[in-house]
Amino acid sequence: MDLRDAFDPRGVVSIVGAGGKKSTLYALASALEFAIVTATVRIPFFDDRVERLEVTTEPGRLIRTNERWPLGVVPDRDGDRERYLGYDPETIDALASKTDVPVLIKADGARTRWLKAPKGAEPQIPSGTDLVIPVASVRAVGRALGAECVHRPERVAAITGRSMGEPVRPEDVITVLTHECGGLKGVPEDARVIPLINMVDDSVLAATAREIATGALTQPRIERVVLGRMDRGRIVDVVESE
């Protein structure tokens, strides 16, 4: 199964969590004939990941005449930092209303960590989102619950009942992916949810990832779980309810 079949990206696709959001964003864009790549949060420069990158406050105006795909759109640069700002969710909804091209968005940040539970105004998911992809790295399992590999570790501790410094277990990743204060936070009621367990680099990690996937599927909103190596744009497995 390829990326298109695994995720069936349509409309607005919001990618959240930690452990491979950006690589997933770019892998999906490369796998599709047409795609728009953008964000509702800050995002590092990605000019080399798209065929065309435009800085504009009115991205909907570009769609009809664009002939270079994937198309990247952002509202502005973040000062002198090597990253762009993101659009507000309403702008993404307005953009999506003007096109049938999938709009792929980075909808929260994780500072390159492998696991995350959001807090405050995170994530920034547009109300018209069709698909949410909560991401977690299987490599977080066995690592200490702390800032080295977990973004917002205090939030992960709060929803899993684990103490800081304790090893992350597969069941903790399941909880993070499926909790209303984790991977399901801010997900529109009618949106599809397909978690991605990333960094499945060998058979041992694959076995752990399948254990997580099986547990995650007990959450009724989740239709399937994808195991992947998004740095290579590769699907390792797709686990679905029997």
Does any domain span residue 124?
A: yes
Does any domain span residue 65?
A: no
Does any domain span residue 193?
A: yes
Domain residues for the domain of 214 are 3-36+101-240
Does any domain span residue 80?
A: no
- 125-157 residue pLDDT tens: 999 999 999 999 999 999 999 999 999 999 999
| Residue 64 confidence class, pLDDT cut points 50, 70, 90 | confident
Task: Specify the pLDDT at position 241.
Answer: 84
| Residue 108 confidence class, pLDDT cut points 50, 70, 90 | very high
Give the mean pLDDT of 57-80. Answer: 95
Task: Specify the pLDDT at position 242.
Answer: 74
Averaged confidence pLDDT in the chain: 97
Question: Model pTM?
Answer: 0.97
Task: Specify the pLDDT at position 223.
Answer: 87
pLDDT(119) > 80: yes
Does any domain span residue 217?
A: yes
The b/e string for 162-172 (b: 16+ C-beta within 10 A; e otherwise) is beeeeebbbeb
Does any domain span residue 77?
A: no
CATH of residue 25's domain is: 3.40.50
Task: Specify the pLDDT at position 173.
Answer: 98
- 149-192 residue pLDDT tens: 999 999 999 999 999 999 999 999 999 999 999 999 999 999 99
pLDDT(219) > 80: yes
- 93-105 residue pLDDT tens: 999 999 999 999 9
Q: How many domains does the chain have?
A: 1
Does any domain span residue 20?
A: yes
